[in-house]
Structure 1
């Protein structure tokens, strides 16, 4: 996929973060897990019952979504249809479901 211009990337990233926020709320409700979501612009902070956090933010210069979790730091790039980890190739929702489940102590599945 050719690089997007900054406006195109920001629109894609905002849409992804909006959907992710709603889907995280649904997954937390379904698992009866306590996940506090705080979002400021392109940065979303998830705080879990034990005080641990996951940060998801967009990086326009790199055209990536970055995720910081207990499991480490991960970069996801859009391939035209989905966000994929630049190292492992894992899809964002599958990877984030795992990171959240680890930190919440309950199975959270993003759909």
Structure 2
């Protein structure tokens, strides 16, 4: 994968994550605020002040996620972003992380694909 291909996929993923969280917040599933600075998406949970950080790492061609549950790396397999250790899909993993930190069941999906 070229750097420009990675950057396009990463940008689309960050946009989709932000949109999915906006949809979740609009349905009152979880109270989050997203802020974006370049390749870094910061998700803050208003009720408890905890955060999840999602950012792209172009040199590694990976998306990195930092949450209370740990740090995770995701690499695109041609169809989806997959955890480099256990193969879980990014949006499924983020759903679990957001549910845990937000205190309510949330299912995020990539409606852009």
* Matched length: 108
Give the TM-score taking structure 2 as reference length: 0.91
Q: Does 1:41 align with 2:38?
A: yes
Q: Is the 8 A contact 2:29 2:105 kept in 1?
A: no
Structure 1: stretches of 5+ with no match in the other structure = none
* Structure 2 Cα separation of the partners of residues 35 and 44 of structure 1: 12
Give the TM-score taking structure 1 as reference length: 0.93
The Cα of 1:34 is off from its aligned counterpart by 0.8
* Structure 1 Cα separation of the partners of residues 9 and 88 of structure 2: 19
Q: CA RMSD for the aligned pairs? A: 0.9
Return the match for 1:14 from 11, 14, 18: 11
Q: Does 1:73 align with 2:68?
A: no
Q: Is the 8 A contact 1:31 1:107 kept in 2?
A: no
